Structure 1
């Protein structure tokens, strides 16, 4: 192992440590060497979800701001969470599909057998990359960091619950849009692969085809 590889690995580990400290420990409220983490914001977040589920009438009586439709009922909130879970499962399947496709294309692009093809293999990687990127960009979950931002901007429980529910609905819309975009790309990719396979078979075995 040369010095470049050692420096590269060390730099990656250092960067990962800095990102973890800045984006996780500090933002969530868990600085290094903390004696006791603050679970207050997490308890308040869970309390808001519990209120949405157990007291739908109380939330329906909340007067929304002007131009706002208010909160969902308890049953609607349960359906929202169910649909969100279903879309996340489908996105995971598509993410696996595109990860396999991208890995195969990258291996093919850097193999010695495709040197005569020029930039065509790299172009295939570039074409397929946005479909995987869309899934990954929308895979971000609504965690305690997002809840902390909501809690910092509002003090009233009803307002906090409303903003958290709106964040769930926006997260669902983003994941559905990413799924449709990635699904269309997967369908076109499968059809293109079938067409290319048929053309290759017709050229390789001309006696079989009429």
Structure 2
């Protein structure tokens, strides 16, 4: 595809540039939708581990049970991890939404190139916002889930070490 030369007084994107902008918006919206699915799945798995039937044997821990709650500190850690995913979920939902004509800065009384430029500027602003909220959600979600599993592994390895010392 040939490169189109632009002059400095062009304010409206060319057709190719506009298609690239719309394709990039579609890509980030799809990535946010997939991330939303992953976050909801992780929250469901974590909360299911906590609130499943209480007749299951509890995993031993070096910490005592929390009084009057019915689950140990693994349950508290799991609840905190699931609740920590709410903020990334909210931002991932913001990345899915589409820009409406009511959100544009061009009013109904304007027409012609000014409205098109304003709408394209709105699309570019929307792209930058969606990219930043996706990155925040992605990094926060990764941090929470990885920290959760690291804490579980550290506690389990410490229990193994204490058990080897006592025997």
TM-score (norm 1): 0.55
Report the equivalent of 1:79: 20
More helix by share: 1
Task: Select which of 149, 152, 161 maps to 2:116.
Answer: 161
Q: Distance in 2 between matches of 1:101 and 1:108?
A: 11
Task: Select which of 56, 69, 80 maps to 1:123.
Answer: 80
Q: Distance in 2 between matches of 1:205 and 1:98?
A: 31
Aligned-residue CA RMSD in angstroms? Answer: 3.3
Q: Distance in 2 between matches of 1:95 and 1:193?
A: 19
Gaps of 5+ in 1: 1-55, 64-68
The within-5 A match list for 1:195-210 is 195-203=150-158, 205=160
Report the equivalent of 1:106: 47
| CA 190–93 in structure 1, closer or farther in 2 if over 3 Å, else same | same
Structure 1 residue 187, shift from structure 2 partner: 2.4
Q: Deviations over 1:132-166 (max 9, x none)?
A: 1111123221235446x7342x4222121112111
Structure 1 residue 195, shift from structure 2 partner: 1.6
Which is bigger in relative contact order (C-alpha 8 A, separation at least 6)?
A: 2
Structure 1 residue 120, shift from structure 2 partner: 4.4
Gaps of 5+ in 2: 59-69
Moved >6 Å (runs of 4+): none
